Chains A and B, each alone.
Chain A
Amino acid sequence: MPEQPGPEEDVGPVDGQVEAPVDGPVDGEAPESEPEPVRWQLGKSHRKVDAMERMRGITRYTDDIKLPGLLHCKILRSPHPHANILSIDVSRALAMPGVHAVLTGEDLPVPYGVIPWTPDETALACGKVCYVGDGVAAVAAIDEDTAIAACEAIDVEYEPLPAYYDPEEALAGDHKINPYAKRGNLSKDVVLEFGDVEASLEQADVVVEGEYYFEGTTHGAIEPHCAVAQVEPNGLLTVWSATQVSHYLHRELAKVLRRPAHTIRVIQPPLGGAFGGKSEPFDLEFCVALLAIRTQRPVKCLYTREEVFYSHRGRHPMRMRYKTGFRQDGTITGVSARTFIDGGAYSSFGLVTTYYSGQLLCAPYAFPAYRFHSTRAYTNKPACGPKRGHGSVQPRFAIEVQLDKAAVELGLDPIELRRRNDIGPDGMTVNEFKIGSNGFLECLARVEAASDWGRRATLPYGRGLGIAGSTYISGTNYPIYPNEMPQAAVQVCLDRSGRARVFSGANDIGQGSNTMLAVIVAQELGLELDDIRVLSADSDLCPVDLGAYSSRITLMVGGACLDAAQKLRRKVRAAVAKRWELPARRVTLIDRKAMDLEDPSRSVSIVEAFQWAEADHGLLGEVGNYNTPKDRHGSYRGGTIGASPAYSFTAHVAEVEVDPDTGVVEVKHIWVAHDCGTALSRRIVEGQMEGSAYMGFGEALMERHDVDPGHNGVHIGPSLLDYRMPTFLDTPELHALIVEAPDAQGPYGAKEAGEGPLHPSIPAIANAIYDAVGVRLDSLPFAPPRVLTAIDDRLALEHAGELPTFKLGRGRAGLASARAAGGVA
């Protein structure tokens, strides 16, 4: 292995940050005050700017790209969970007709990692493989069948090594999995303490202790990963990839291929879902790039569904031990958490995950003392990474169940207990993050009313309601690699036909970010969405954006877009005001017109207004920037990680029916109230809330991503049949309730909506199951055998007189009570 520079880890983001220069006035004009603009586009339900072409089957996703002379790439993958590679012989494959090139690890030896402090993987295995599925060699051939046959003709001699499937065993083991790890199989260890936790727990009237296990889950985007590369006649390397972070891919391609970034063009075609699963470079992008260079022909690689499962980077399994102290009135005195994180074979975003597992828990509840110790270990499994709600969905499950247990013990309504701990707006968390707007109390009130929570007291045995709350970030205060440039930038041009063009590096992954940008431009320039063309995620045409992760785009890219659009708005209004001989504050842009606010009968078409402005100012183009405030995080080491300009808040109520005879849990309804600051486009926000609640529901009840140690570490079911994603028939009724607590940091007050609304699904369902049948499920998923065992255990204790009869007299008829009476094995 090549010698690595010592990772500096989180030192970078903490130090060396400088305030970005504040934008000066445009063209020397002072921004003019204007009456609160009419919300003529904001908050409406819009047709998305790019949905119709998707529904007509016209949109070209990455696999739909056809190029003359296209070669197909397949990647040979390791059958071993942990082995040294003694030799690779590609001669038989290379000799096959139709095979154009073969790559192995030594062709792409430069280590990379999406987090610059943990470059611990190579495009193809160098010297050893670390999980079943690790890429070993890549073939470019005339068609897929030939490429597959060529992979089979590659002879690899392996020396198997002992494999670890459990993080605590891996930490104690002698065999190092990832050679870049500094110490054994330790990937990252974070200990942070705020206030005196021991004292806070001693002073508590009640201390709830629990151990929770969150089994891994994966993203399951319906589009598999795909990449195409081509060398243009001028030498430019173009890479089309189904990625959600074009810019980080661009950087890593430059690094691994040892090419200057300006000789590479990265294009993200329309994307078929991501959810965090496409937020870092994968082996296929490096392979097609180098194969295209070697063969001077375009090369495509499309993962099979099985490869998507093995490539993973999904939700980390976490084993979490929690102690939470409460006073009699339900207020939290302190929280102590010990978490072991199963990282899989590589770091991915794991450094951040390890921090997030503790750092993102300090709202919506205030507590004066907090300690967390999180340890991420390497194991011989597909690497884990970020999945929707990165790092905090797992501990959110733990803490929200802890609160529910406390409510039972203290005899308090669990919604009331949460109200009493609300951190409120404009405060500071125990870990020194500044909170701005906070609509959590309204979220609680909305789900309480919508679910008719009061009926909970009389629901019969087998039926229950559960509550949970959460918070999430609207982007991170610091980018992945330290730099002083803007976190987001957008270019907007107007033309004399009355159209606007928006150039943005942001990745629209189906969440509607292109439409969000169009809404902002339409709002500011008086346009319809049809008048706006959004060009995004093409590194040759668009300004850099950091990508679709950490729910950053609405706040950050939206902020940059608003900056540019407002500059143009000022120019257009000034041009109209000059001709009408009015102060510019009287001119507004609305409904494809410029209009005198005091005499609405006086107007001019937006086309003419743009032409006047172009005559006065020259071509109408502006750039907008967004950078984060640098005063909203903790002053300690690691205190920037998890800090955000603004936080969203969510509450869920889940209604379940549990069959005590089979253990089958049916979730009937989930009410989701989410404080997104301001809903820029109502239906898109609802769609994010519904999609989040659905995804959390699937994780709670159905989905399992794991390998089988008894079968040499192969995946337990790498298909969409075995990995059980909820269908139309499984999914509960989802009720999206938008709450708006505008935040000064967001465009028009907007905060995130794409990830936060997932968090409470799982604990709300767990708490509803308790409310239905009196059992606590502290391990995921809540599959029937696990539920049935828990019910049987409770019934046996009830029969033995060690527990009271749950919901006595409330429908305890039928087999369940008969089994309780007769005892169960």
Chain B
Amino acid sequence: MAEALLSLRINGESVHAAAPAHWTLLEVLRYRLDLIGSKQGCDKGDCGACTVQVDGEPVLACLTLACAAAGREVRTVEGLGWSPEASNGCHPLQDAFDRWDAAQCGFCTPGILMSAEALLRKVGRVVTRDEVREALAGNLCRCTGYTKIIDAVVDASEMLAAPRDET
């Protein structure tokens, strides 16, 4: 199979990989770069487990050709812990998910975190439960019934909104 050389920006770093030209961003992340945090649940854009951010927007990596991401900023769950909001390698969203037990099997969680992070960044204040529902409607979770995920995202938005010295 003919392979193409890809130059990508992932989590703020330049990376290069050779992969079949028809491979999706998800395949390149998982099977070429070993960034296994992004998950494949359906491979056709239905479940949201593969959600990453491209130029700050949540996108489905299983429906994005890897070559279409060239020259753009790709952010995956692995990069969340390196963001300025993170402490000890842990983003406030990840900490809130941990405290709320918002990840049961955790398979949908990376995608949900990437959708939720985009929401919090765009809204820039404490979010409402309905805003969370709307923003995460493209991410399926089969374990939690969503309740604790909504709790955690609202909680994280409160943590982020609070002045740093009070957190």
Q: A interface vs B, CB < 8 Å? A: 45, 47-48, 51-52, 54-61, 63-64, 66, 143, 145, 219-224, 270-275, 302, 304-305, 509-512, 683-684, 686-687, 690-695, 719-721, 725, 727-729, 731, 733-734, 736
Contacts and interface: CB of A to CB of B under 8 A. Distances in A.
Contacts of A63: 30, 40
Nearest to A143: B1
B9 interface: no
A691 B37 contact: no
B43 interface: yes
A493 B40 CA distance: 37
B105 A221 contact: yes
A57 B78 contact: yes
Contacts of B89: 56
Given A48-B98, A52-B90, A57-B37, A691 B143 contact: yes
B133 A728 contact: yes
The 4 closest A-B pairs by CB, nearest first: A57-B37, A510-B105, A54-B106, A272-B107
Given A56-B89, A721-B46, A728-B133, A687 B37 contact: no
18 contacts: A51-B98, A54-B106, A57-B38, A221-B105, A221-B142, A222-B41, A223-B41, A273-B143, A510-B107, A512-B104, A686-B101, A687-B101, A690-B145, A691-B143, A720-B46, A728-B149, A729-B133, A731-B145
A384 to B, nearest CB: 19
A69 to B, nearest CB: 15
B107 A55 contact: no
B77 A687 contact: no
B83 to A, nearest CB: 12
A719 B44 contact: yes
B157 interface: no
Interface in B114-167: 132-134, 136-150
Contacts of A695: 142, 145
Contacts of B140: 222, 720, 725, 727
Nearest to B40: A63
B24 to A, nearest CB: 13
Contacts of A725: 140, 142
A516 B48 CA distance: 29
Contact of A729 (B35, B76, B134): B134
A222 B47 contact: yes
A687 to B, nearest CB: 5
B35 A47 contact: no
Contact of B41 (A58, A224, A736): A224
A691 B39 contact: no
Q: Which of B36, B99, B139 has the most CB of A within 10 A?
A: B36
Contacts of B53: none
Given A55-B110, A57-B110, 8 more contacts: A54-B107, A57-B76, A272-B41, A686-B101, A694-B145, A727-B138, A728-B136, A734-B147
B42 A720 contact: yes
Interface string B93-116: 010011111011111111001000
A710 B98 CA distance: 48
Nearest to B148: A687
Contacts of A60: 36
B141 A222 contact: yes
Interface of A is mostly: loop
B42 A47 contact: no
A52 B94 contact: yes
A304 B44 CA distance: 10
Q: Which of B43, B44, B140, B142 has the most CB of A within 10 A?
A: B142
Contacts of A58: 37
A305 B144 contact: no
Contacts of B113: 55
B105 A690 contact: no
Nearest to B96: A55
Contact of A305 (B42, B80, B110): B42
Interface in B43-58: 43-44, 46-47, 49
A66 B147 contact: no
A273 B107 contact: yes
Contact of A510 (B80, B94, B137, B143): B143
A145 B1 contact: yes
A222 B105 contact: yes
Contacts of B134: 728-729
A72 to B, nearest CB: 10
B25 to A, nearest CB: 15
Interface of B: 1, 20, 30, 34-44, 46-47, 49, 76-78, 80-81, 89-90, 94, 97-101, 103-110, 113, 132-134, 136-150
Contact of B103 (A54, A61, A302, A692): A54
B105 A273 contact: yes
A511 B104 CA distance: 6
A45 B100 CA distance: 8
A495 B1 CA distance: 53
A270 B100 CA distance: 20
Contacts of B100: 683
A694 B147 CA distance: 9
Contacts of B144: 687, 690-691, 694
Given A222-B41, A222-B142, A305-B41, A56 B77 contact: yes
Nearest to B89: A56
Contacts of B110: 55, 57
Given A224-B41, A728-B136, A728-B137, A51 B103 contact: yes
A728 B145 contact: no
Contacts of B146: 690, 694, 728, 731
Contacts of B36: 57, 60-61, 64
A721 B45 CA distance: 9
B148 A51 contact: no
B109 A55 contact: yes
Nearest to B49: A222
Contacts of A734: 145, 147
Contacts of B46: 305, 719-721
A55 B106 contact: yes
Contacts of A302: 40
Contact of B147 (A272, A690, A720): A690
Contacts of B80: 56
A378 to B, nearest CB: 29
Contact of A222 (B39, B132, B138, B150): B39
A728 B106 contact: no
A719 B77 contact: no
B108 A222 contact: yes
Nearest to B37: A57
Contacts of B30: 63-64
A56 B76 CA distance: 10
B78 A56 contact: yes
Given A273-B143, A691-B144, A54 B43 contact: no
A270 B106 contact: yes
B159 to A, nearest CB: 15
Nearest to A733: B147
Contact of B148 (A66, A509, A683, A721): A683
A305 B50 CA distance: 14
Contacts of A51: 97-98, 101, 103, 106
Contacts of A275: 142
Contacts of B148: 683, 686-687, 690
Nearest to B36: A64
B39 A272 contact: yes
Contacts of A270: 105-106
Contacts of B137: 727-729
Nearest to A146: B1
A686 B102 CA distance: 11
Given A222-B108, A728-B132, A728-B133, A57 B35 contact: yes
Given A52-B98, A54-B106, A727-B137, A305 B1 contact: no
A56 B101 contact: no
A63 B108 CA distance: 14
A690 B150 CA distance: 12
A690 B103 CA distance: 13
B166 to A, nearest CB: 22
